[in-house]
Amino acid sequence: MTQPSGPIPARNFDEIRASCGIVFTDWSEANDAEIYAGIDISDLRPMVARLVENGCRLASVFAEDRTTAGSGFLLYHVFESLNDRRYLLVRTSIPVDTPAFPSVAAEIPAVNWQEREIHDWFGLVAEGHPNPRRVALHDNWPEIHPLRKDFPIDTVLPPFEGEQHLYRPTLGEGVFQIPVGPVHAGIIEPGHFNFAVAGEPILYLQLRMFYTHKGTEKQFEQLPVNRAVYLAESISGDSSVSHGTAFCQAIERASGIEIPARAKRMRTILLELERLYNHVGDIGAIANDVGFAVANYHASRLREFILAVNEELSGSRLLRGVVCPGGLRHDWEQQQTDHCGAALNRFELEFAELMRMIDASDSTRDRLERTGILHPDKARDLGIVGVAGRASGVDRDLRRDHPYAAYDEVSFQVPVYLEGDVLRRMRVRVDEVWQSLGIIEQILATLAPGSHRAAVPPLPPNCVALGTVEGWRGEIMHWIRTGSQGRLERCKIKDPSLNNWPALVEAVEGNIVPDFPVINKSFNLSYSGTDR
């Protein structure tokens, strides 16, 4: 395991603010996790450039419609600094009569899709965007901007059909296009992959997502908070606890409540169980995609093991309906946690055996090593997060960098590799399985009886808050603005898949077509989480 050393000394936001010479119109610490700063729209691009020069990472860009409150549109750039547990949210005001903002996608490709989403959903033009085509609403959609407040959610659009998207043409002798999807052979979600190939080697991959766009962010604005939790849990079916927890953390922060210690620890266990069942499933799936089916079936058996623990603890194999604002819906009996501990001990032994089997298979290693390399420089530039990032030298993990739940009580390692191939993405998962087992063990040892749920006061209106969770896939963000009568004015969701799809494009380049499925599987991104 190697720890890459960043060339830029990490500093906290206060030091950066004092030294970088950016003029912020205001600067306020909303709570111990968020700083809100305002900036004039003309200073936006220099500000982003200066912060990035100072080692900050632009984690997300999103907008909200405040025209009903008389402040036009607001644009937020969310920054993270390695040496600061807080996030910096820089707010830019966009007047209604000039609905445009300066794009930074040319310098920071990580926000390419996010800026185009803002264009599609709010009608705010990303000026200077290198590829200003539609992304979230496909080309055949009428000219609508559904996240604007004057767009009623029950609008019935006239029927439209005929996808008109123009792919980059594939030219040259012996160069062909292979269109794959959006409907695939397995039981997976829809996405279109357009390969340009010269024989078997892939020259270029073009992606098309958002086939399952459901207007989730708009839907959040309609629901009372206690029901919105269920919606958060279903943003990406395999990350229900992570998304649910991120959402609840935002609500709790907006309400200004602290959840009981027991609830924090229980959430930590659930989050790690979710990581466990997904990682084990993925390790098997990667082996399966190179034709090593035996390992897959044993991994499936182990995944089932964890699912049984999930059911024992929560009544739901996929951990739905578990978290709620203030803590968890149900407390656990001593018997349940004992069972969980015993089951995980058995799991540990069997997992070690599974890994011995996979490690002993030279033919599997031959397929995985140096396949689908995502170079660390590209991973950093594209803002790749989570498992895929850590396999390519991006040493970020929210559990360590921005601790939530009970992660500041436990010790664990963050595995980081520099090679960035399929094997290392699998290795990161394997290492994290061991770390997760250790975390659960530490928590179980300290899980003292107590309250599992704090009372949540009525939601105060017009509060903003951010909830972040390191889901098993990577960084999940929920940003909310509360409205009247316990509802939300805006809920922005950022799933790690949204960051990571472009990584797939880079990783497959130069590989051969039959290796694509295993490369794709090593990222295992969520279509539903991307499309929302």
Partner 1 sequence: MIEQVLLVFFHLALVLLLSPLITGFNRVLKARVQTRQGPSLVQPYRDLYKLFRKGMVIPDTASWIFTATPFVLFVTTLLASLLIPTISAHAPLSLYGGVLAVVYLLALGRFFLALGGLDTGGSFGGLGSSREMTISAIAEPALMLAVFTVAIGAGSTNLSTVAQSGLGQSWRFLAPSQMLAFAALFIVLIAETGRIPVDNPATHLELTMIHEAMILEYSGPYLALIEWAAAIKQLVLMTILVNVFFPFGLSVDWSPGPVLLSLVLFIFKLLLLSVVVAAVEVSNAKMRLFRVPELLAIAFVLSALALVSTFLFQG
Q: Is residue 167 near partner 1 by the rule CB under 8 A? A: no
Which of 28, 68, 363, 462 binds partner 1 (CB under 8 A)? It is: 363
Smallest separation (angstroms) from partner 1 to the CB of 355: 15
Q: Is residue 516 near partner 1 by the rule CB under 8 A? A: yes
Which of 31, 131, 212, 361 binds partner 1 (CB under 8 A)? It is: 361
Q: Is residue 507 near partner 1 by the rule CB under 8 A? A: no
Smaller CB distance to partner 1: residue 178 or 454? 178
CB 228 within 8 A of CB 302: no
Smallest separation (angstroms) from partner 1 to the CB of 191: 14
- Coil, helix or strand for 507? helix
Q: Is residue 505 near partner 1 by the rule CB under 8 A? A: no
Smallest separation (angstroms) from partner 1 to the CB of 411: 36
Smaller CB distance to partner 1: residue 82 or 513? 513
Which of 6, 9, 130, 179 binds partner 1 (CB under 8 A)? It is: 179
Which of 41, 49, 82, 178 binds partner 1 (CB under 8 A)? It is: 178
Neighbouring CB atoms inside 10 A of 277's CB total 22
Q: Is residue 242 near partner 1 by the rule CB under 8 A? A: no
Contacts for 64-68: CB closer than 8 Å, 24+ residues apart: 64/481, 64/489, 64/490, 64/492, 65/122, 65/147, 65/148, 65/149, 65/490, 67/96, 67/148, 67/149, 67/150, 68/149
Smaller CB distance to partner 1: residue 505 or 513? 513
Q: Is residue 527 near partner 1 by the rule CB under 8 A? A: no
Q: Is residue 289 near partner 1 by the rule CB under 8 A? A: yes
Q: Is residue 512 near partner 1 by the rule CB under 8 A? A: yes
Smallest separation (angstroms) from partner 1 to the CB of 250: 39
CB 303 within 8 A of CB 296: no
CB 428 within 8 A of CB 417: yes
- Coil, helix or strand for 257? coil
Q: Is residue 169 near partner 1 by the rule CB under 8 A? A: no
Rule CB under 8 A: which of 293-312 touch partner 1? 293-294, 296-298, 301
Which of 213, 367, 429, 452 binds partner 1 (CB under 8 A)? It is: 367
The DSSP code sequence of 377-410 is HHHHHTT--HHHHHTTT----HHHHS--TTTTTS
Alpha helices in 195-328 (DSSP H): 216-220, 225-233, 240-255, 261-289, 293-314
Q: Is residue 364 near partner 1 by the rule CB under 8 A? A: yes
Name the residue with tokens 């708009």. 218
Q: Is residue 517 near partner 1 by the rule CB under 8 A? A: yes
Query: Which is nearest to 479 in space by CA: 456, 495, 498, 457?
Result: 495
Interface region with partner 1, contact rule CB under 8 A, candidates 37-45, 125-133, 172-180, 414-422: 172-180
Which of 29, 139, 163, 200 binds partner 1 (CB under 8 A)? It is: 200
Half-sphere exposure of 144 (CA within 13 A, CB side): 18
Asked if the bond preceding 449 is cis, omega within 30° of 0, the reply is no
The amino acid sitting at 90 is V
Interface region with partner 1, contact rule CB under 8 A, candidates 82-90, 252-260, 364-372, 481-489: 364-372
Smallest separation (angstroms) from partner 1 to the CB of 207: 15
The DSSP code sequence of 45-96 is HHHHHHHHHTTEEEEEEEEEE-GGGTS-EEEEEEEEETT-SSEEEEEEEE-T
| Backbone angles phi and psi of 463, in degrees to 5 | -110, 145
- 93's tokens: 């005001």
Q: Is residue 346 near partner 1 by the rule CB under 8 A? A: no
Distance CA 91, CA 44 (A): 9
Smaller CB distance to partner 1: residue 203 or 223? 203
Q: Is residue 113 near partner 1 by the rule CB under 8 A? A: no
Smaller CB distance to partner 1: residue 242 or 522? 522
Smaller CB distance to partner 1: residue 152 or 186? 186
For 135, 276, 306, the CA distances from 346, given in Å and listed in that order, are: 46, 14, 11
Q: Is residue 366 near partner 1 by the rule CB under 8 A? A: yes
Smallest separation (angstroms) from partner 1 to the CB of 190: 15
Q: Is residue 122 near partner 1 by the rule CB under 8 A? A: no
Q: Is residue 282 near partner 1 by the rule CB under 8 A? A: no
The H or E element spanning position 207 is: strand 202-208
- 432's tokens: 């994290």
Rule CB under 8 A: which of 368-387 touch partner 1? 371
Smallest separation (angstroms) from partner 1 to the CB of 358: 10
Residue 111 DSSP label = G
- 462's tokens: 């017009």
Smaller CB distance to partner 1: residue 295 or 323? 295
Distance CA 155, CA 139 (A): 19
Site string for partner 1, 132-151 (x = CB under 8 A): --------------------
Three-point CA angle 53, 500, 245, nearest 5°: 95
Which of 176, 226, 345, 450 binds partner 1 (CB under 8 A)? It is: 176
Residue 487 DSSP label = B
Smaller CB distance to partner 1: residue 338 or 369? 369
Neighbouring CB atoms inside 10 A of 227's CB total 10
Alpha-carbon Rg for the chain, nearest whole angstrom, is: 23
Distance CA 417, CA 147 (A): 39
Question: How many residues of this chain interact with partner 1, rule: CB under 8 A?
Answer: 32
Sites of contact with partner 1 (CB under 8 A)? 176-180, 185-186, 199-200, 287, 289-294, 296-298, 301, 361, 363-364, 366-367, 371, 512-517
